[in-house]
Structure 1
Amino acid sequence: MSFQAGYVKLLKNGKLAEKASILNKHLDNCMLCPHECAVDRKEGTGFCQAKNKSIVANYGPHFGEEAVLTGKRGSGTIFFGYCNMRCVYCQNHSLSFAGEGKAISDERLAEIMLEIQNEYGCHNINLVSPTHFLANIVNAVHIAAQKGLYLPLVYNSSGYEKVEILKILDGIVDIYMPDFKYFHNESARKLSQINDYPARVKAALKEMNRQVGGLKTESGIAFKGLIVRHLVLPGNLDETKLILNFLKKELSSNILVNLMGQYYPAHLAYNYDNLN
């Protein structure tokens, strides 16, 4: 296989540095996600609570991801603190709500990426909840690529994204892996404090699909394409059916869909009759 990560190509033609520069401006006036908080991340925080340095809770080979990502050597996951959603049933709430982890420099994040590649031998770099740290991540990729990083980048997100920002990531991200949590606004408002999730995730999925298309693998390991996750919630099968119908009609026929059944009443779910 002659696969070359998209960011390696962008490094060579100078566009990776250009994209990093564009994203860095959001640290002064953050509009990275649909909340559009417009805060100076050096001085304060918005909805997600993130400041101007990445918060990394842990990293290393992970074997609990999809088989096309984990293979025999694991998916090189980097778990970031904080999140731009407030899911009441969140199974990683110590990270997403409390921001568990350590603030690190972009240079250190680049070192982590290279460690995942060169010491752990993972199949990919899997960025978990990356949206609010995109400027730091692309800075780190730019640094690491100059030192030999070549693994596919996996963008593992909630699906609550801005198309304008995703377009900047075109050519940087090799594998998109968003959630599609809700089909109806009412569910998103009640369970995740988000008013416009369905419209945002549908637009984001179409843009991701445009960029990378259906899933592409070599020897059973993904190197490019789109994986969509959906966590089935109790009593919510009607929305699940609508989501699956959207994916079938609107996206490439060979995307991978992971219909997840590992729900349990975590975090604040005990306060909700249909979730406890």
Structure 2
Amino acid sequence: MLPRTSRHSINTTRHLPLIAVRRRSYLAPPFLLDSFTPRYQLLTATQASKKRSEAYAHLRACNLCPRLCNVNRYEKRGHCLIGSDVVVNTIAPHFGEEPCLQGHNGSGSVFFSGCNLRCVFCQNHDIAHQKNGFSLTPEELGEWYVKLQEVGKVHNVNLVTPEHVVPQVVLSILHAKELGLKIPIVYNTSLFDSLDSLHLLDGLIDIFLPDFKCWNDSTSKRLLKADNYADVAKESIKAMQAQVGDLCFTPDGLAKSGVLLRHLVMPGYEEEGRHIVRWLAENVSKDLYVHVMEQYHPRAHVGKERRRTTGSGRAEEVAGTSREGGKRRYEEINRPVKMEEVDGVKKAAQEAGLWRLLDAAEHGGFNI
């Protein structure tokens, strides 16, 4: 039986607020921010003016991405199909990103039409491979950022596949800054960026969200329709890391600055994923925040009937006439990825020293 004084103390505290139980936290002081100011808010007027001039110059002779089209985008279209304005398919709060980006209110995603890659498995091929959407000037785009902040109450502005519209993005951020934008900018990229492009973006982007897709040149030529993809990606990720460092959070568990790297594990390409995570650990940072993704499923051109070129130069779908016996296109990736393939890449990442691997929150909410 408890002593009278103990019983009395228990009874008198029944109506007092409960003491909060300390939750398990994955944040350590190097990655925890007491406060945050977007990088674009720290630019001086002179720096902003210089970036505007550089952006306009690049639009008149566009060599910012590795395609090096060298076109005047006020007059012609390059590989990406987009001119001096941007074409946007969707602008809205989005809840399909990493938990530390979407939080409770969503990530303010801007899905750009066009792309400088032609991934045969593209999950957004109806947007990226075509010019579907509505045109906006850079200034109108910046006004949408502010609408996302004020009306949508989103946690960030998430620029999805912006590699081919970097000059317009620069102009839009600078305009939104003048209109009162105060939330982080996320650069959500397929990692086919040039160093010149990233130099132009320096001081404007808070979170880089690159997707390192494949390792071998033969794979990038076949599946991405791009030469030297891995070499370009390696230089780009180093530059991103140099600009913003490792991913950092505020105490509410929301990412505010740094690099969050994705790798989508492809069926049959587990070994390339292993090479990627090992290289990242050895050459970028062992504190790099990495999301090894398992969401792959056949889309775009994967699984379609094979094609042949007719005498008129047009391609038509045919079945049963190829040397492979009529198999469908890109047959090797025409299946879901296996969990053992995903686990193999995660294991390689851990063995290489990467420890900040994104996992789903056990409590069903967003990760802290």
TM-score by length of 2: 0.73
Where 1:228 maps in the other structure, the secondary structure is strand
Q: Which stretches of structure 1, 4 residues or longer, exceed 4 Å deviation after superposition?
A: none
Is residue 238 of structure 1 aligned with residue 238 of structure 2?
Answer: no
Where 2:63 maps in the other structure, the secondary structure is coil
Q: Distance in 2 between matches of 1:98 and 1:39?
A: 19
Any residues of structure 2 matched to 1:186-265 within 5 Å, and which? 186-218=218-250, 219-265=252-298
Contact kept in structure 1, 2:108 and 2:156, CA below 8 Å: yes
Q: Distance in 2 between matches of 1:91 and 1:189?
A: 18
2:212 corresponds to which residue? 180
Is residue 114 of structure 1 aligned with residue 172 of structure 2?
Answer: no
Any residues of structure 2 matched to 1:262-273 within 5 Å, and which? 262-270=295-303, 271-273=329-331
Where 1:220 maps in the other structure, the secondary structure is coil
Q: Distance in 2 between matches of 1:116 and 1:274?
A: 41
1:2 corresponds to which residue? 35
1:28 corresponds to which residue? 60
Q: Distance in 1 between matches of 2:89 and 2:46?
A: 31
**Match for 1:140: what amino acid?**
S
**Match for 1:83: what amino acid?**
C
Question: What's the CA shift for 1:269?
Answer: 1.0
Contact kept in structure 2, 1:17 and 1:142, CA below 8 Å: no
Where 1:58 maps in the other structure, the secondary structure is strand
2:158 corresponds to which residue? 126
Is residue 38 of structure 1 aligned with residue 96 of structure 2?
Answer: no
Q: Which has the higher contact order (CA 8 A, sep 6+)?
A: 1
Contact kept in structure 2, 1:28 and 1:39, CA below 8 Å: yes
Is residue 275 of structure 1 aligned with residue 333 of structure 2?
Answer: yes
TM-score by length of 1: 0.97
Tell me the alpha carbon deviations over residues 58-81 of structure 1, each in whole angstroms, 9 at most, x when there is no partner: 111111100110111111100000
Gaps of 5+ in 1: none
Question: What's the CA shift for 1:105?
Answer: 1.4
Tell me the alpha carbon deviations over residues 76-110 of structure 1, each in whole angstroms, 9 at most, x when there is no partner: 10000000000000110111001211111122101
How many pairs does the alignment contain?
275
Question: What's the CA shift for 1:193?
Answer: 0.8
Q: 1:89 aligns with which of 92, 98, 121?
A: 121
**Match for 2:245: what amino acid?**
G
Question: What's the CA shift for 1:137?
Answer: 1.3
Q: Distance in 2 between matches of 1:105 and 1:23?
A: 13
Where 2:203 maps in the other structure, the secondary structure is coil
**Match for 2:258: what amino acid?**
G
Question: What's the CA shift for 1:223?
Answer: 0.5
Any residues of structure 2 matched to 1:132-171 within 5 Å, and which? 132-171=164-203
Gaps of 5+ in 2: 1-33, 304-328, 335-368
Q: Distance in 2 between matches of 1:238 and 1:188?
A: 14
Where 1:99 maps in the other structure, the secondary structure is coil
Is residue 14 of structure 1 aligned with residue 46 of structure 2?
Answer: yes
Question: What's the CA shift for 1:253?
Answer: 2.4
Tell me the alpha carbon deviations over residues 146-178 of structure 1, each in whole angstroms, 9 at most, x when there is no partner: 111111110001100111221221111110011
Q: Distance in 2 between matches of 1:24 and 1:259?
A: 37
Contact kept in structure 1, 2:91 and 2:109, CA below 8 Å: yes
Question: What's the CA shift for 1:2?
Answer: 2.9
**Match for 2:332: what amino acid?**
N
Contact kept in structure 1, 2:166 and 2:197, CA below 8 Å: no
Deviates more, 1:181-190 or 1:164-173: 164-173
- Identity over aligned residues, as a percent? 37
Q: Distance in 2 between matches of 1:39 and 1:168?
A: 18
Tell me the alpha carbon deviations over residues 16-50 of structure 1, each in whole angstroms, 9 at most, x when there is no partner: 22112102211111011001100111111111111
